């Protein structure tokens, strides 16, 4: 448990550091290196278009990241009489017991110390549980993080291609770039800044593919009306049309949520409480 609590603190700091490094490299290194053709009108130059696109991706990734933390799952355990005795406490800790006023798949998270409605999983990179209130923002965060990393990967490859006078037309060129660069770096033929960018290329590739795969897997579960917690526990869910499952998570303003970070729609349980 101590290791998990440390990971819950280190992972968000690691993500913020990677985001800051990516932003600095894009703004102060990759984009300025694109201003090399004076014949192109500055308003429609590739550098400005790429910079605007990267800022759009970054703003959405950071905005949804903040909303995932800010719109944290509601603690359903407040005001509920959970009972006394070792048996009741044990049932709550392993997630096998839910209060009568909570929906199925309600789960007690040890790290967050709260009872989460429609618990999906605990995300260490946000230091928060993912449930019905912040699921849409979490998916948008994964989507735009993946796009921002892949965009930085392409821009970084263009920078390295110009700096080292090499071509990535051959797919094997990227696979052999790292071992070849390490040998050049220790022989003194490669600058430290260029070696750092090359290492970031592989990091962006890994994060981008991981976020894209996780986003696709999460969307598949939503279409089936399931959560990761329900799949792990082997819970049977009521079959519903996939359109209803999507609307439950993304709401009717799903197109707006694709363009700008907005708060998640209220859950069924929350609307029942307000009534």
For 186-205, write each residue's pLDDT tens digit. 998 889 999 999 999 999 99
pLDDT tens track for 159-185: 999 998 888 888 789 989 999 999 999
Q: Which of 102-106, 237-241, 248-252 has the lowest mean pLDDT?
A: 102-106
Q: Over the Cα atoms of the chain, what is R_g?
A: 23
Residue 63 reports pLDDT greater than 60: yes
Q: Using one digit for the tens of pLDDT, what is the confidence trace for 74-100?
A: 655 554 444 443 333 344 444 444 444
* Distance in angstroms (rounded) separating the CA atoms of residues 169 and 78: 59
Burial 32-44 (b: 16+ CB within 10 A, else e): eebeeeeeeeeee
Residue 44 has pLDDT above 70, yes or no: no
**pTM of this prediction?**
0.83
- pLDDT for 132 equals 80
Lowest model confidence (mean pLDDT) among 30-44, 109-123, 128-142, 190-204:
30-44
Which pLDDT score is estimated for 72? 75
Return the closest-CA partner of residue 221 out of 212, 234, 209, 230: 230
pLDDT of residue 147: 96
As a whole-number percent, the residues of the chain with pLDDT over 90 amount to 39
Q: Which pLDDT score, from 0 to 100, does residue 265 have?
A: 52
Question: Rounded to 5 degrees, what angle do the CA atoms 75, 81, 83 make?
Answer: 120
112 or 153: which carries more pLDDT confidence?
A: 153
Q: What is the pLDDT of residue 40?
A: 55
Q: What is the pLDDT of residue 101?
A: 41
Residues 6+ apart with CB under 8 A from 163: 194
CB contact at 8 A, 60 and 260: yes
**Residue entry with tokens 């819970």:** 235
Reported as a pLDDT band with limits 50, 70 and 90, residue 48 is: confident
What local confidence, expressed as pLDDT, does residue 216 receive?
A: 94
Active site residues: 123
Q: Calculate mean pLDDT across residues 247-267.
A: 77
pLDDT > 90? residue 251: no
Please name which of 234, 249, 159, 251 lies closest in space to residue 204, comparing C-alpha atoms. Answer: 159
d(Cα 70, Cα 127) in Å, to the nearest integer? 11
Q: How many CA atoms lie within 13 A of 112 on its CB side?
A: 24
In the chain, where are the structural domains located?
Answer: 1-71+138-213, 74-118
Nearest Cα residue to 261 out of 140, 155, 167: 140
Q: CA–CA distance from 86 to each of 75, 79, 81, 92, 264 (Å)?
A: 21, 20, 14, 10, 37
**Which position has the higher pLDDT, 97 or 15?**
15
Contact 168, 154 (CB under 8 A): no
Q: What does the pLDDT average to over 122-135? A: 88
Residues 6+ apart with CB under 8 A from 267: 117, 118, 132, 133, 248
Q: Would you say 68 and 138 are in contact if contact means Cβ atoms under 8 Å apart?
A: yes
**pLDDT of amino acid 77:** 57
Whether residue 238 has pLDDT greater than 90: no
The span from the CA of 144 to the CA of 48, in Å, is 19
Give Cβ neighbours of residue 173 (< 8 Å, ≥ 6 apart): 166, 167
């Amino acid at each position: 448990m101590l290791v998990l609590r440390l990971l819950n603190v280190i992972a968000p700091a690691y993500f913020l550091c990677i985001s800051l490094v990516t932003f600095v490299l894009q703004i102060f290194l990759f984009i300025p290196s694109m201003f090399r053709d004076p014949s192109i009108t500055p308003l429609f130059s590739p550098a400005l278009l790429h910079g605007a696109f990267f800022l759009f991706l970054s703003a959405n990734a950071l905005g949804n990241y903040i909303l995932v933390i800010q719109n944290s799952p509601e603690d359903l355990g407040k005001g509920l009489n959970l009972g006394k005795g070792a048996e009741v406490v044990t049932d709550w800790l392993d997630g096998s017991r839910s209060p009568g006023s909570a929906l199925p798949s309600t789960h007690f998270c040890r790290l967050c110390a709260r009872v989460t409605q429609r618990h999906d999983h605990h995300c260490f990179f946000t230091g928060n549980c993912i449930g019905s209130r912040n699921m849409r923002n979490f998916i948008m965060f994964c989507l735009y993080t993946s796009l921002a990393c892949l965009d930085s990967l392409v821009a970084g490859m263009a920078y390295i291609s110009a700096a080292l006078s090499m071509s990535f037309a051959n797919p094997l060129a990227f696979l052999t770039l790292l071992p070849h660069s390490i040998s050049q770096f220790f022989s003194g033929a490669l600058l430290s800044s260029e070696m750092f960018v090359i290492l970031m290329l592989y990091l962006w590739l890994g994060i981008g593919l991981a976020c894209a795969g996780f986003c696709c897997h999460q969307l598949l579960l939503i279409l089936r009306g399931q959560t990761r917690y329900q799949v792990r526990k082997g819970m049977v869910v009521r079959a519903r049309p996939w359109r209803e499952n999507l609307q439950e998570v993304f709401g009717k303003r799903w197109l707006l949520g694709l363009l700008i970070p907005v708060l998640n729609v209220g859950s069924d349980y929350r609307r029942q409480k307000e009534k």
